[in-house]
């Protein structure tokens, strides 16, 4: 007999706890109508019913996983190594996201007087953030797999981002690359 799976145990308990919290705390406090509403003697379905049913499915699924999926193969479990990878991945995404969002406005603020908003539809200003942030993202992820930063990975990141600019931005006037819809 295989040992009980800690992953499934945690998943089951987590789903049960999360769904009970949703059903008894979150949904009642974050919806303005209940499960069923009566207005002028007309009974109708309230906004809380559907999410409560959905949380009920998560609860039932969690209970089933906890009680029945006793064992799990080595492939279906979350290890500390998986969590470390996620930290690295999300860090690369956060840094490149920040560069994508702020590099253009920062460059415009340093070099010009009118600011980024007035320039966000002109080349090269509108591409600065996307080019730097996108290159950083692609180069960072390639480097994380290769275990080192190489000139080749930097070039691939830059070329891939330029290709995306050519595909998404140059032929279409109505498409906005990040971050130009936000600034």
Partner 1 sequence: MGVFDYIRLGVLAVFGGPEMFSVLGVPISITLAMILFGFLLGIATGATPGLAGPVAMAISLPILISAFGFTPDALLPVMGFLIGVMKGATVGGAVPAILFNTPGTPDAFMTTLDGYPMARGGRAGKALRIAHFSSASGDTFSDVVLILCAPFLAILVESYLDLPEKTALLILSLAFISSVIGNSVGKGLISMGLGLFASFVGTGEDFYPRLSMGTQSLAGGFPVTTAVLGVLILGEVFKGIEDLRSERRSGAAPEPVMERGDQRLNRGDIGRLAPYIARSALIGTAIGALPGIGSTLAATLGYSLNRNRYERVKSTDDPAFGTGAPEGVAATEAANSSVSGANLIPVLSLGIPGNAAAVFLILAAESIGGFNPGPSVFRFSADTVNPELVIAFGLFTAMMLANLLNWTVGGVFMRSMGIMIRVPKHILLPIVLLLTLTAIYVQETRMEAMWFAIAFGVLGYFMRRLGMSPLPFVIAFLLGGKLEETARQAFAATGGDPFFLVTSPVAFAFIALSVGVIVFSLRRKKRAGA
Site for partner 1 in 52-91 (CB under 8 A): 53-66, 68-69, 71-73, 75-78, 81-82, 85-86, 89-90
Binding test (CB under 8 A) with partner 1, winner from 4, 25, 123, 168: 168
State yes or no: residue 161 binds partner 1 (CB under 8 A): yes
- C-beta of 113 vs 122, nearer to partner 1: 122
Say what the alpha-carbon torsion angle 45, 48, 49, 55 is, to the nearest 10 degrees.
170
Query: For partner 1, what does the binding mask look like between residues 107 and 136, x meaning CB under 8 A?
Result: -----------------------x---x--
State yes or no: residue 102 binds partner 1 (CB under 8 A): no
Tell me the CA distances in angstroms from 84 to 6, 15, 174, one per residue in order.
Answer: 19, 23, 40
Total of residues contacting partner 1 (CB under 8 A): 82
Q: From CA 35, how far away is CA 106, in angstroms rounded?
A: 50
Q: Give the contacts of 143 (CB within 8 A, at least 6 positions apart).
A: 149, 150, 153
Query: For partner 1, what does the binding mask look like between residues 8 and 37, x meaning CB under 8 A?
Result: ---xx--x---x--x---xx--xxxx----
């Amino acid at each position: 007999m295989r040992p009980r799976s800690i992953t499934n145990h945690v998943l089951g308990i987590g789903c049960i706890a999360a769904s009970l919290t949703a059903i008894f705390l979150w949904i009642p406090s974050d919806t303005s109508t209940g499960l069923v509403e009566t207005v002028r003697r007309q009974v109708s379905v309230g906004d809380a019913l559907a999410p409560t049913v959905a949380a009920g499915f998560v609860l039932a699924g969690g209970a089933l996983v906890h009680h029945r999926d006793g064992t799990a193969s080595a492939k279906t479990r979350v290890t500390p190594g998986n969590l470390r990878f996620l930290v690295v991945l999300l860090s690369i995404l956060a840094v490149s996201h920040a560069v994508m969002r702020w590099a253009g406005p920062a460059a415009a603020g340093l070099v010009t007087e009118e600011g980024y908003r007035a320039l966000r539809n002109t080349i090269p200003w509108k591409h600065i953030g996307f080019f730097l942030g996108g290159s950083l993202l692609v180069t960072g992820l390639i480097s994380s797999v290769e275990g080192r930063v190489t000139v080749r990975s930097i070039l691939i990141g830059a070329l891939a981002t330029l290709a995306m600019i050519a595909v998404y931005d140059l032929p279409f006037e109505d498409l906005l690359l990040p971050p130009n819809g936000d600034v």
